[in-house]
Amino acid sequence: MSGRRDAARAAPPQRAASRGELLLKGGRIVDPRAGIDARLDLRLEDGCVAEVGERLAAREHARVIDCSGKVVVPGLIDAHVHLREPGREDEETIESGSLAALAGGFTSVLAMPNTDPVTDSQAAVGFIRAQAARAGHAHVYPIAAATRGSLGSEMSEIGDLVAAGAVAITDDGRPIADAGVMRRILEYSRIFDVPVVQHCEDLALTDGGVMHEGRISTRLGLKGIPAASEEVVVARDLILAELTGAHYHVAHLSTARSAELVAEAKRRGVRVTAEVTPHHLVLTEEAADGYDTQAKMNPPLRSGRDVEALREALAAGTLDIVATDHAPHHYDEKEREFDFAPFGILGLETAFGLLHTELVLAGRIGLADLIERMSPAPARIFHLAGGGLEVGQVADVTVLDLEREWTVEPEAFLSKSRNTPFGGRQLVGRAWMTIVDGQVAWRLDRDPAVADEPRHAASAAGRRSATARQGKVRSPASAHAREGAAR
C-alpha cells in the first residue's frame, strides 16, 4: 500500500455520540491550545464542543453540571499504555484498562503492540479497535509493531497497519536494535506520516541488569543497567532520524544525557519528540532499596541527578509529553525475587495526582504547561482528535478537582492489577469527572450537582465494597504460569 496518510487528525473509533446538550457551568477552563485560562461555561452538543463563553444559558432538556471550584481541561491523553489483550487478560483487558483510564481523567490512550500475538497485522489492529468500541470507555488507539513479531528483523507492512487504524509504530518492550532495519523503518514511516516510537535500550549493555547501575545496585548486590544502555541508542537513532527526515519519538526517556541529546537534536531541526513517565519524574533508584519489586521497571528508576534533569527538561519543553507506561502485572509475578520479578508498574489512575502534587504544587511546572504535555501535545504528535476545547472539536473533557486530598489505595483501582510503589501515598488533585464524546463516562462522586447518571460512578467506598466482594487480590492459584514478556 502506498500514499501519504490524510493530514486530518485520526478519528476515534466509532461510537454513539451524545445527542443531547451538556452544559458545564462555572468552572475554570484551562485550554493551552486556545490560550484560555478563565472562569467560563462550556456547552457540549452532539458529541462536539458547541460554545465556550460567560454565563451561558441552559436550553430546554440540557443537563447542567456545576463545575464551581473545579478546573475544566481538554481530555487527557496517555500515549503509552499496555492493555495486555490479547494474551494476558489475567493482568488487564481493553475493557478494564480503558475504564481505569477514565478514572485517571484520560479520554484517550494509545495501546502498545507487545501483546500475544503481537499487534503486527491488520486483523490485530482491528481486534483492538473492536474491543475498545465494545467496551465503550476511553478511546483506544492502537500502536502497531514496527517489525514482524517485534523480532527486530523484518519490517511490518506499515501502510496496511496505518490503514487499519494504527497511529504509530514501535517494537516497545524491546528495542529496534539493527541500525539498518531502523533506517528502513524511518524511511517508510515518512510515506505514511506516523511517528516511529523507540524503546531505547542496548541489550548488550543491559546484559541482564535489573535496576539502575549505581550505588544502590552495588549495595544490594543486584546487576545494574547503565544509563549508557539508553543513551547510545538515543544518540544512534537521532543521527538516523536526521538522515531520513522521519519523525522519531523517544519512549519513556529516563536519563539526563538522553534529555541533552534530544535538546541538541531539536536545535539542529531533527524531527524528534520525547516522553517521560510520572515515575521517572517522582522516584529515584532509592525506591528499590529493600528489594521492593514494585519499584522495578524498565527503564529503571535513575539517580536523583537524572530526576532533577528530567523535571527541568519537561518544564523547558525538551520533553514533549508525559505518558504513564501503564504496565499491569499479576500479584504472583511481582511477589517473586527481585531478579525474577517482571518490570513495570501501573500509571493510569495515579498519574495526574502525582504530577500535580510533586510538580505543580511544588512550583516546578505550571498547571497549563502540565495540561499541554498531557493533552494538546500528544494529540499533535500522534495526529489525534482532541487536545483542545475549540468549537467543533470532539467533546472529550476532563474536570479536575485540584483541592481533593486522597490516598492511593491499590485495592480500589479499576485496573485488574495492583502493582504500584505509590500505595499509601498522600496526593492532592485528581480527576472529578471524565467526559467522552459529550457523555459523562465516569465521575468520582455521586454528586447531586450532576443531573444525569453517567456510565460509571466510582466513589471510593463503592469500589472498595466491590473489591471486597471479589477478593482484594486474586488468588495465586488463578495465575497463568507464564515466563517472559517482562513489560
Q: Could you report the per-residue pLDDT of 99-126, keeping only the tens digit for each?
A: 999 999 999 999 999 999 999 999 999 9
Residue in 325, 369, 401, 437 annotated catalytic: 325
Q: Tell me what pLDDT residue 19 has.
A: 59
CB 441 within 8 A of CB 390: no
Q: Answer yes or no: do 338 and 463 share one domain.
A: no
Does residue 388 lie within any of the structural domains? no
Confidence of residue 472 (pLDDT cuts 50, 70, 90): very low
Q: How far apart are CA 261 and CA 448, in angstroms?
A: 51
Q: Answer yes or no: do 50 and 81 share one domain.
A: no
Does residue 327 lie within any of the structural domains? yes
C-alpha cell at 232: 547510545
Amino acid at the residue 241: A
Domain that holds residue 449: 21-72+394-470
Confidence of residue 389 (pLDDT cuts 50, 70, 90): very high
pLDDT score of 454 more than 60: no
Does residue 386 lie within any of the structural domains? no
Q: Tell me what pLDDT residue 456 has.
A: 56
Q: Tens of pLDDT along 68-102?
A: 999 999 999 999 999 999 999 999 999 999 999 99
Does residue 102 lie within any of the structural domains? yes
Does residue 475 lie within any of the structural domains? no
Q: Among positive and negative, which fits the CA dihedral 463, 466, 472, 476?
A: negative
Amino acid at the residue 14: Q
CB 113 within 8 A of CB 154: no
Q: Answer yes or no: do 362 and 457 share one domain.
A: no
pLDDT score of 188 more than 70: yes
Q: Answer yes or no: do 405 and 363 share one domain.
A: no
The pTM is what?
0.90
Q: Tell me what pLDDT residue 434 has.
A: 98
C-alpha cell at 290: 529493600
Q: Answer yes or no: do 416 and 283 share one domain.
A: no
122-to-132, 164, 166, 374 alpha-carbon distances in Å:
16, 5, 9, 28
The residues near 427 (Cβ < 8 Å, ≥ 6 apart) are 350, 353, 354, 356, 357, 405, 406, 407, 408
Q: Among positive and negative, which fits the CA dihedral 264, 269, 270, 271?
A: positive
Q: Tell me what pLDDT residue 446 has.
A: 63
Does residue 484 lie within any of the structural domains? no
Does residue 108 lie within any of the structural domains? yes
Mean pLDDT, rounded, for 368-377: 98
pLDDT score of 464 more than 50: no
Q: Tens of pLDDT along 208-252?
A: 999 999 999 999 999 999 999 999 999 999 999 999 999 999 999
Q: Answer yes or no: do 354 and 398 share one domain.
A: no
Q: Tell me what pLDDT residue 445 has.
A: 83
Q: Answer yes or no: do 221 and 356 share one domain.
A: yes
CATH number at residue 215: 3.20.20.140
Share of the chain above pLDDT 70, in %: 87
pLDDT score of 325 more than 60: yes
The residues near 147 (Cβ < 8 Å, ≥ 6 apart) are 120, 153, 154, 155, 156, 171, 176, 181, 185
Q: Tell me what pLDDT residue 6 has.
A: 43
Q: Answer yes or no: do 201 and 110 share one domain.
A: yes
CATH number at residue 461: 2.30.40.10
pLDDT score of 262 more than 80: yes
Mean pLDDT, rounded, for 130-153: 98
Q: Answer yes or no: do 222 and 353 share one domain.
A: yes
Mean pLDDT, rounded, for 249-269: 98
> Of 381, 407, 436, which residue is a domain's last?
381
Q: How far apart are CA 318 and CA 194, in angstroms?
A: 20
pLDDT score of 204 more than 50: yes
Mean pLDDT, rounded, for 421-440: 98
The total domain count for the chain is 2
Q: Answer yes or no: do 51 and 102 share one domain.
A: no
Q: Answer yes or no: do 354 and 419 share one domain.
A: no
Confidence of residue 20 (pLDDT cuts 50, 70, 90): confident
pLDDT score of 374 more than 90: yes
Beta partners for residue 63, in sequence order: 22
Mean pLDDT, rounded, for 440-467: 54
Active site (annotated) includes residue 120: no
Does residue 195 lie within any of the structural domains? yes
pLDDT score of 450 more than 70: no
